[in-house]
Amino acid sequence: MNFAEIIFLFIIAVTMGGAATAVLAGSVVYAIMGLVVTMFGVAALYVYLNSPFVALMQILIYVGAVTVLIAFAVMLVGPLYRRPKEWTTAGKFGAALGVALVSLLLFVRFVTETFPRAGAPSFEMTTKDIGRLFFDDLVLPFELISLLIVVAILGAIMLALFARGNK
């Protein structure tokens, strides 16, 4: 076991711990912290997968934009200290655990039977290749994404405006 593998195991442990924190934390703020830790861990896993561009985009978009949006929502929806705990009843937790365990077993069976346990082939994917793919084969999805973002921005603005108009 070399040094890179030890770091890899540490990253996996941090990612899983962050995911568990994001689900099981009693307060929303700790859940967001767990989400940030998980996203950094996933970005490090992208680096191990020879995709540094996706790793940087992960940090830029998820950590930089999405979690900040969620943090703003937490700040806008009222005081935290009057909020009850994030947990619901134990029966619901049992149901959630059951559903998730059944799907986990199904997916483990699917994964272990479908994909061969092969080593890594050579993989060199540069940013130039990704850009060429986006502007060559995937032009329509790329433009549709920009259209979707424009529509989402307009929708968010309209939601805020209508809420103010009703009051």
Q: Which of residues 3-32 bind other proteins (CB under 8 A)?
A: 4-5, 8-9, 12, 15-16, 19-20, 22-23, 28, 31-32
Judged by CB, which is closer to other proteins: 81, or 122? Answer: 122
**The binder of other proteins chosen from 10, 37, 87, 109 (CB under 8 A):** 87
Judged by CB, which is closer to other proteins: 77, or 81? Answer: 77
Q: Which residues, 6+ apart, have CB-to-CB distance to 8 below 8 Å? A: 48
Helix (H, G, I), strand (E, B) or coil at 122: coil
State the DSSP code for 120: P
For residue 120, give Cα distances in angstroms to 41, 67, 81.
Answer: 21, 33, 50
Interaction between residue 80 and other proteins (CB under 8 A): no
Q: How far is the CB of 162 from other proteins (least distance, A)?
A: 8
- Is-contact 88 80, C-beta < 8 A? no
Binding to other proteins, residues 43-62 (CB under 8 A): 45-46, 48-51, 53-54, 57-58, 61-62
- Dihedral Cα 60, 54, 51, 42, nearest 10 deg: 70
From CA 159, how far away is CA 167, in angstroms rounded? 13
- Is-contact 59 40, C-beta < 8 A? yes
Q: How far is the CB of 81 from other proteins (least distance, A)?
A: 14
- Is-contact 31 21, C-beta < 8 A? yes
Q: How far is the CB of 64 from other proteins (least distance, A)?
A: 10
Judged by CB, which is closer to other proteins: 81, or 119? Answer: 119
Binding to other proteins, residues 107-146 (CB under 8 A): 107-108, 111-112, 115, 117-123, 125, 129-130, 133-134, 138, 141-142, 145
Q: How far is the CB of 3 from other proteins (least distance, A)?
A: 11
